[in-house]
């Protein structure tokens, strides 16, 4: 096979411009809890091994003497539900719950928490609670999580009331008797209960979910007291508080959030702008967020924000863990903001109901930063900006493909175009595979849209697809070092015809005039050539299409294809010789010579030859009969008698 070669040096460690992706890192598998008391505040957490927030919720409910206010985005935990039903008997009612009851509402917001819910089970549990005397109301967008007992003590937490949050995730909670915090949460709960809930379960023996007919529509939300903040419809106290604290930052900002995305749109762009300005001032920002290991090597929601924030003087880090769900921000070892929302431009900061509190206390801030460091050390992934392929490979985000020689099969007149396109790949060392169906699958990767095949010297086969488009998913790079590109040219039409002719003419014709099957051709070609040396697939379908275009024409005029078998047929010369001996009958009355089809068939059958497809039913043989002027008419050929014979 003709070829030409080009030798290249694949560059070592060239950064991939403006790319941010998740990579693996060394980490501490132990997830640590936090537990300390400072003045009126008690800080607790949940991990897989310690369920302190669940224990605190049950303890507070069991100790209630007058009233219980519980707001939770999700309510799905038997231990808490049993505690609520025990409290109803003890408090003669006075147990009030706000949650999202309808799953149609929940589904719109479930990506905020990444949770699923069983609709039928949820309604059964709510009916049981209502039957026991618990008052339950639906708020269409309440994402806040807090508990107020006897209007004297409150728990603000990131955890939803369900097993995932209370027994598996990393969550944080703050228990307090601070009067302003308790009063703020109590007044917010009562406002939501009276003015914004829209459906409820009636606490009867046969509770049903129904609309609230007496709903009051007072839109004046009570202002948060003390250091409390919240998001409520158009009141974005929480967003403004976060922006203000970031604007005050001089050294460090530590953030933990379930989501970190879409802050470049709408009102939340002010939050992103504040972070950019902080980085310009040289402030270091350390973010931990939720991420699954399925995201390794992929551009995610966080990628765009991280790329944007990585271009400034300050240093930003982004680490990911699959179970983190706590939400907080610590600024300059002085200010701590705990909240129930996320750094998310779609939910919690500009819509729905979320709450937060700001604590200005150095000990609290330092304890939180110490805990943040332990959480970061337990993160199995971090996001990297403008990595080189070797860095991506170390982080398990890509595969370095070790190839010393690449063979490109192409048309002779297409080498220049293919080389220019391939140079883009080598020159920038960008990903070989890209977009949609372009993935490394075992021994395959993609490279160009030319309808040919790529192979390496170790006999791996590589399908060529898309070279020019930029990768959404980094799945493979050529390893740095020496590389030879070898351009080979597939067989031409003449070369294929010559091979086929040599093969067919080397075979004996069988009694039924068959020569071989298409399967025989596929098998024989596969023994002598590589599949990529054909311009079509070396299979029955590929050869069938090719043979239909050539058989019966030119040098192939004595071959035909019948049901996957090559048949040796009579040539026009053979047919003429056979038909020469036919004696026409004479119709004197009409002055005609006549040859019937039966006569032609009888003479041809005795020859033992096969009739070509184009002459089947003896069509178009008028020019092959002896003499001229024959015309077909009703199963016979006829012509006028010469004047001398009339």
- Between the alpha carbon of residue 235 and those of residues 219, 221, 224, 617, the distances in Å are 11, 8, 11, 88
pLDDT of residue 577: 84
The pLDDT of residue 214 is 66
Highest mean pLDDT among 68-82, 112-126, 211-225: 68-82
Q: Which CATH code is given to the segment(s) 22-384? A: 3.30.870.10
Tell me the pLDDT band of 416, cut-offs 50, 70 and 90.
Answer: low
Question: What are the pLDDT digits (tens) for 30-67?
Answer: 999 999 999 889 999 999 999 999 999 999 999 999 99
Q: Which residue has 């003045």 as its token pair? A: 39
Residue 447 has pLDDT above 60, yes or no: no
The average pLDDT across 436-449 equals 27
Q: What is the pLDDT of residues 586-605, one digit of tens each?
A: 888 888 888 888 888 888 87
The burial of 121, by beta-carbon neighbours within 10 Å (0-12 exposed, 13-18 middle, 19 or more buried), is given as: exposed
Of 149, 165, 97, 106, give the one whose Cα is nearest residue 128. Answer: 97
Q: What is the predicted pLDDT for the residue at 24?
A: 93
Cα–Cα nearest to 79, from 144, 161, 135? 161
Using only C-alpha atoms, the chain has a radius of gyration, in whole angstroms, of 40
Report the pLDDT value the prediction gives residue 465, as an integer from 0 to 100.
32
Point out the least confidently predicted range of 102-106, 212-216, 229-233: 102-106
Average pLDDT, integer, range 211-224: 74
pTM: 0.69
pLDDT digit string (tens) for 516-532?
999 999 999 989 887 76
Within the chain, what is the greatest distance between any pair of CA atoms? 135
* pLDDT over 90 percentage in the chain: 45
CA separation for the pair 21, 382 (Å, rounded) = 8
Cα–Cα distance between 618 and 632 in angstroms, integer? 10
Give the pLDDT confidence score for residue 388 in this predicted structure: 81
Distance CA 498, CA 218 (A): 90
More confident residue, 415 or 491: 491
Asked if residue 85 has pLDDT above 80, the reply is yes
Tokens of 278: 């902080």
Percent of the chain residues past pLDDT 70, beyond the cut: 79
Q: What pLDDT score was predicted for residue 323?
A: 95
Mean pLDDT of 626-645: 79
What's the DSSP call for residue 153? E
18-22, 95-99, 168-172, 441-445: segment of lowest average pLDDT? 441-445
Q: Which of the pair, 451 or 534, is modelled with greater confidence?
A: 534
Name, in order, each residue with C-beta under 8 angstroms of 449's C-beta and a sequence gap of 6 or more: 464, 465, 466, 467, 468
**Of 155-159, 197-201, 438-442, minimum mean pLDDT range:** 438-442
């Amino acid at each position: 096979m003709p070829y030409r070669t080009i030798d290249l040096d694949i560059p070592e460690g060239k950064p991939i411009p403006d790319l941010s992706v998740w990579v693996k890192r060394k980490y501490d598998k132990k997830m640590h809890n936090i537990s300390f008391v400072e003045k009126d505040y008690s800080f607790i957490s949940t991990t897989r091994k310690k369920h302190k927030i669940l224990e605190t919720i049950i303890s507070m409910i069991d100790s209630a003497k007058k009233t219980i206010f519980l707001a939770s985005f999700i309510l799905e935990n038997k231990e808490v539900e049993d505690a609520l039903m025990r409290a109803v008997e003890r408090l003669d009612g006075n147990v009030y719950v706000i949650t999202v009851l309808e799953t149609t509402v929940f589904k719109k917001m479930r990506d905020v928490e990444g949770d699923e819910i069983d609709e039928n089970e949820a309604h059964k549990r709510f009916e049981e609670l209502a039957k026991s005397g618990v008052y339950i109301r639906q708020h269409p967008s309440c994402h806040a999580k807090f508990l107020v007992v006897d209007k004297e003590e409150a728990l603000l937490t990131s955890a939803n009331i369900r097993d995932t949050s209370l027994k598996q995730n990393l969550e944080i909670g703050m228990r307090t008797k601070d009067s302003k915090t308790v009063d703020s949460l109590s007044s917010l709960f009562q406002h939501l209960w009276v003015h914004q809930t829209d459906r409820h379960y009636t606490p009867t023996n046969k509770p049903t979910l129904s609309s609230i007919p007496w709903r009051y529509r007072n839109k004046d939300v009570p202002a948060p007291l003390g250091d409390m903040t919240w998001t409520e419809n158009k009141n974005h106290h929480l967003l403004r508080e976060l922006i203000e604290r970031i604007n005050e930052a001089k050294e460090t900002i530590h953030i933990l959030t379930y989501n970190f995305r879409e802050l470049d749109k709408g009102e939340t762009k002010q939050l992103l702008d504040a972070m950019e300005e902080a980085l310009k001032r040289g402030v270091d920002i350390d973010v931990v967020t939720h991420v699954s290991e399925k995201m390794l090597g992929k551009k995610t929601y966080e990628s765009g924000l991280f790329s944007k924030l990585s271009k400034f003087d300050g240093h930003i880090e982004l680490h990911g863990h699959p179970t983190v769900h706590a939400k907080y921000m610590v600024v300059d070892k002085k200010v701590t903001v705990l909240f129930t929302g996320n750094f998310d431009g779609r939910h919690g900061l500009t819509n729905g109901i979320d709450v937060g509190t700001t604590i200005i206390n150095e000990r609290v801030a330092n304890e939180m930063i110490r805990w943040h460091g332990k959480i970061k050390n337990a993160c199995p992934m971090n996001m990297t900006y403008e990595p080189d392929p070797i860095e991506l490979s170390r982080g398990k985000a890509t595969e370095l493909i070790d190839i010393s020689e690449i063979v490109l099969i192409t048309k002779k007149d297409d080498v220049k175009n293919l080389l220019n396109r391939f140079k883009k790949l080598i020159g920038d060392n960008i990903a070989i595979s890209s977009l949609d169906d372009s993935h490394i699958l075992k021994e395959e990767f993609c490279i160009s849209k030319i309808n040919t095949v790529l192979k390496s010297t170790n006999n791996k086969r590589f399908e060529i697809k898309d070279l020019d488009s930029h990768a959404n998913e980094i799945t493979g790079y050529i390893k740095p070092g020496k590389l030879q590109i070898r351009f080979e040219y597939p067989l031409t039409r003449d070369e294929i015809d010559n091979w086929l002719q040599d093969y067919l003419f080397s075979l004996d014709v069988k009694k039924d005039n068959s020569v071989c099957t298409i399967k025989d051709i596929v098998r024989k070609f596969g023994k002598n050539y590589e599949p990529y040396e054909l311009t079509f697939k070396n299979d029955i379908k590929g050869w069938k299409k090719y043979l239909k275009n050539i058989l019966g024409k030119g040098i192939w005029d004595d071959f035909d294809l019948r049901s996957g078998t090559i048949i040796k047929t009579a040539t026009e010369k053979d047919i003429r010789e056979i038909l020469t001996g036919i004696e026409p009958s004479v119709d004197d009355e009409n002055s005609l010579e006549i040859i019937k089809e039966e006569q032609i068939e009888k003479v041809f059958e005795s020859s033992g030859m096969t009739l070509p497809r184009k002459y089947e039913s003896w069509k178009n043989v008028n020019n092959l009969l002896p003499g001229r002027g024959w015309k077909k008419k009703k199963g016979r050929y006829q012509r006028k008698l010469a004047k001398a014979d009339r």
